[in-house]
Structure 1
Amino acid sequence: MQIKKPIWSLTPVMVATAIFCCVLWGSASPAIKIAYELFGIPASDTASRLVLAGTRFVLAGVMTIIFGSLVSRQVLTPKIESLKYIGALALCQTIGQYFFFFMSLANTSGVRGSIINASGNFLAPIFAIFLFRLEKFEVKKLLGCFIGFFGIFLFLGGSSVLAGGKMTMAGEGAMLMAALFYAISGCSIKIFSKFENPVVLSGYQFTLGGIVLLGIGLLMGGSLSFTSMGCYLNLIYMGFISAGAYTLWGVLLKYNPVSKVSVLGFVNPIMGVLLSALFLGEESQAFSIVSVISLILVSAGIIVVNAKRN
């Protein structure tokens, strides 16, 4: 008797879902920059920026828990012993990463942010091999990291001439810090998921990290002014970006080989650049010679790092 394969393991469904996740993640940069305009948050208003980030991730956490519970057909709750894992992830993945991510996008373009943020895809395997000892040394992974980093360095070196504007620590530097925290949290969740459902870890760490960011922002005097329906819709969408993408990506990893899913991550920076061009009017940066070449190298690097060895 032939056993019917889960729908998520069918290649067309897997590819389409993975690309959809990448579209969601790629839309984060333009969505946040649009939010700054809708809520009237200037680059200097760190407190309100933290309130926005915190509110987004509280929503994302609640949505992730609800979506995950519906998919698993049971209410997802963490084990007591998993609280320390949730706290550690909240510190790295939400508080650390998105403090710098939101800071960066207040001080740089969506195109620049999308390309520089891709460095997390290359820091993660380096940390996994040399720091956390989670993976074996492979030449192809280091080759992929070299290709990707070369693309990013090319972009950093040439963007000031062809993409307009100089680099700053509050802009490009902050995005590199966000990528660093992304890499650490990626390795951490790989370790912690041995003891707890990764959707549970993501949902509850989003909520905890969001509460901390929101609390700090409010204590600093930050606030959000909901002046139009667009403010509400933007905030809900930003919450859905994380909740929908992480939940669906987790489902794909459950029913498919990790390398088969992860290799499609090259679509992420491409979507970030294209959507920034579409919604933020950054066509001159997105389609400059330096940006295109850098994006090709970054995408190639992600493919090489995640390609399955024969």
Structure 2
Amino acid sequence: MNSSTFFTQRKVVFLLASLCCLLWGSAYPAIKNGYALFHIAADDIPSKLVFAGWRFIFAGLVLLVFALLSKKPVFQLDRRTFGQVTLVGLTQTSVQYVFFYIGLAYATGVKSSIMNATGTFFSVLLAHYIYKNDRLSFNKVLGCVVGFAGVMVVNFSESLLSFDFTLLGEGFVVIAAFVLSAASIYGKKVSQRVDSVVLTGWQLAIGGLALLLIGLATGGSLTGFTVKSTLLMVYLVVLSSAAFSLWTILLKYNRVSMITVFNFMVPIFGTMLSAMFLEEQFLEWKNGLALVLVCYGIWLVTKEEKEKPAG
């Protein structure tokens, strides 16, 4: 690969990964508004699971319909492959969200955002032991540390000075981050044999169905459908289908460490977009510093890719 081709490819990866993180970041204010529009209380985890379940079911169906229209093999999966796709959906979507929502109920939003960012460290570490061409290096470790520092800066508040840690709170958020990291790496392996759009469609639909059933079984419900709340749900469905499918494609063709480091941008975008749309303070020095740190961390992790073949 020559120099110009490499930098063009890296620019495309940067733009697509940043777009995914921007979309996921926009989910923070959208979901918060969704809870208000659908009358879901802060401690009503079952109804939150129902809300998430419908969101992912519809997102998956959108992708599967798109795959059908594109003449992709939606229903041509053998039993073994469909079992693997199901496992991706149940772990990456269902189990991860159950742990995350429970953890969020027992930990502050600030700490949850920071604990959730540990998923990038898990991904880079797991990739080191699974892929021979994705070993740990000084730049990768330093880049992850710098990016994590950016997440801490954007979430900086007095609560960070408190070091209390509970299993049901911060512990469950960290478990959710680990589950997502492991499931994403497993999904990368499955994506080598299954079309990325088909894989994402099925895993979102299956994972969403599991979340819906768990939510309903534990007393959750979803009411308050209006034009405004329905449009917001539509946005979340489009957001999920676009972001998850792009992310699956990026992981399929690139090293795990090169892509997952972009996850540090999600809380940055989430903070900025929440400030803009929830009428919170936006122009703060910490937001600019956090963005600089995260971008520098991403640059450190990805700059060595020129010398390594994709895998």
* TM-score class, shorter: 0.7 to 0.9
Residue in 2 that maps onto 1:58: 57
> Mean alpha-carbon deviation: is it higher for 105-114 or for 200-209?
105-114
Partners of 2:169 and 2:290 lie apart in 1 by 18
**Pairs within 5 Å for 1:195-234:** 195-234=193-232
**Pairs within 5 Å for 1:68-217:** 68-70=67-69, 72-77=70-75, 79-80=77-78, 81-103=80-102, 116-130=115-129, 132-133=130-131, 135-152=134-151, 158-161=156-159, 173-217=171-215
1:287 aligns with 2:279: no
Residue in 2 that maps onto 1:238: 236
Counterpart residue identity of residue 61, structure 2: V
Partners of 1:174 and 1:237 lie apart in 2 by 28
Distance 1:279 1:114, change over 3 A: farther
Partners of 2:185 and 2:251 lie apart in 1 by 15
**Pairs within 5 Å for 1:229-308:** 229-250=227-248, 262=259, 267-283=265-281, 287=284, 289=286, 292-307=288-303, 308=305
User: How much has 1:143 moved relative to structure 2?
Assistant: 2.0
SS state at 1:24 partner:
helix
Residue in 2 that maps onto 1:21: 20
User: How much has 1:197 moved relative to structure 2?
Assistant: 2.2
SS state at 1:41 partner:
coil
Note if contact 2:72-2:198 (Cα within 8 Å) is conserved in structure 1.
Answer: no
- TM-score computed with the length of structure 1 as normaliser: 0.78
Note if contact 2:154-2:271 (Cα within 8 Å) is conserved in structure 1.
Answer: no
Counterpart residue identity of residue 242, structure 1: S
Identity across aligned pairs (percent)? 37
Residue in 2 that maps onto 1:31: 30
> Mean alpha-carbon deviation: is it higher for 217-226 or for 299-308?
299-308
Residue in 1 that maps onto 2:5: none
Partners of 2:296 and 2:234 lie apart in 1 by 33
SS state at 2:157 partner:
helix
- TM-score computed with the length of structure 2 as normaliser: 0.77
User: How much has 1:204 moved relative to structure 2?
Assistant: 0.7
Unaligned runs of 5+ in 1: 1-8
Q: For this pair of structures, how many residues does the alignment match? A: 295
Note if contact 1:77-1:200 (Cα within 8 Å) is conserved in structure 2.
Answer: no
> Mean alpha-carbon deviation: is it higher for 146-155 or for 296-305?
146-155
SS state at 1:283 partner:
coil
For residues 98-137 of structure 1, the C-alpha deviation after alignment (integer angstroms, 9 at most, x for no partner) is 223444566777776555533322321111113x346323
Note if contact 1:115-1:295 (Cα within 8 Å) is conserved in structure 2.
Answer: no
> Mean alpha-carbon deviation: is it higher for 170-179 or for 117-126?
170-179
**Pairs within 5 Å for 1:1-20:** 17-20=16-19
Unaligned runs of 5+ in 2: 1-7
Counterpart residue identity of residue 301, structure 1: G
1:43 aligns with 2:39: no
